[in-house]
Structure 1
Amino acid sequence: MFLKPWAKASTEAFCIRRTVFVEEQQVPEDLELDEYDPLATHALAYFDELCVGTARLVDLGDGHAQIGRMAVLAHFRGKGIGKQILEKLLLAAKVRGFSTLILHSQLSVMPFYEKLGFIAQGPIYDEAGILHRNMMLILPNSIE
């Protein structure tokens, strides 16, 4: 598991995101890359030497951050890789002193985030043709 800036993560991270979001979930490709990618810290998960998962952590200012673009290749799902990615980003957020994390969860994966302490907030909404709901996690003040 590695944390990298976009300049070093872009090729592998976009390959994963394109496969999962654009090809599998039919998200328009022009929505997949945005202005936050160059500003974010990107987590990359590997199996042997193959990048199989990714997510990003974006500083929103005032102690808040957002986790997003979390994706694991289909063949590697259910093996704990997503949990490892999320735990790596949670630790990075704590080290950087963030007090809260938010994310836009697809409804189908909300239970995954709930197991790690995220709480659903607000209404269900459509994002890129997929139903989502915001989730939030308040981080402890100390690094465990």
Structure 2
Amino acid sequence: MSETLLREAVTEADWQAVRAVRQRVFVEEQACPPEEEWDVHDAPEARGVAVHHLLAEHDGAPVGCARWRPVGDAVKLERFAVVPEARGTGLGRALVARALADARAAGHRRFVLHAQTYIADLYASFGFEPEGDVFDEAGIEHVKMALEDR
């Protein structure tokens, strides 16, 4: 029986799996410049402390990832990626739900993200609303979106 596991990335092997997914989706598929993909929030000393990385695996193979981190009075959700063969399975929705649940469990109630425009409806289905105009980030159209729990 095949199984998809979604959990926080905590080991170096987990981090390498997250990195492989992001490399494949953002750098190779979407042609994001590597220097814009990897940042200080990926540093070993930030992982699991100030930044939380999620990893999705299907039958042991990495198929998705995301990260969330506190920024001022909000949590920024970012780096959501699902490999092509796992798209359309609900994994993206599961990653958003898990990131929100983990951040809420840590006491956060305000969330922001920069959504690629083609997937903004997914975030809207969780209650995120657009803020401002469409903008370019790493050569891809994005829109800032926010959600505040009442």
> CA separation in 1, counterparts of 2:11 and 2:40?
11
Match of residue 86 from structure 1: 96
1:128 matched residue in structure 2: 138
TM-score (norm 2): 0.87
Distance 2:102 2:120 in 1: 22
Three-state SS of the structure 1 residue aligned to 2:18 is helix
Residues 1:139 and 1:6: Cα distance change in structure 2 (over 3 Å): farther
Preserved contact between residue 21 and residue 65 of structure 2 (Cα < 8 Å): yes
Counterpart of 1:97 in structure 2 is 107
Match of 1:26 among 31, 55, 60: 31
The aligned residue for residue 45 of structure 1 is: 56
> Alpha-carbon deviation of 1:129?
0.5
Q: Distance in 2 between matches of 1:77 and 1:117?
A: 22
1:66–1:101: 8 Å Cα contact kept in structure 2? yes
User: Do 1:68 and 1:104's aligned partners in 2 also have CA atoms closer than 8 Å?
Assistant: yes
Structure 2 unpaired stretches of 5+: 1-5
Tell me the CA shift for residue 58 of structure 1.
0.8
TM-aligned CA deviation for residue 52 of structure 1: 0.3
Separation (CA, whole Å) in 2 of partners of 1:100 and 1:76: 29
Partner letter of residue 46 of structure 1?
E
SS at match of 2:9: strand
**CA distance in structure 1 between the aligned counterparts of 2:102 and 2:122, rounded to whole angstroms:** 19
The one-letter amino acid paired with 1:30 is: E
Rounded Cα–Cα distance in structure 1 between residues aligned with 2:13 and 2:104: 23
Aligned residue in 1 for 2:81: 71
SS of 2:80's equivalent in the other structure is strand
1:10 aligned residue: 15
Deviation of 1:8 after TM superposition, in Å, equals: 5.7
The one-character-per-residue Cα deviations of 1:73-103 (angstroms, maximum 9, x if unpaired) are 0010010011111111111011111121100
Please, which of 72, 91, 112 is the counterpart of residue 61 of structure 1?
72
Residues 6, 42 of structure 1: 8 Å contact kept: no
Identical residues among aligned pairs (%): 33
- Give the whole-Å Cα distance in 1 for the aligned partners of 2:119 and 2:10: 26
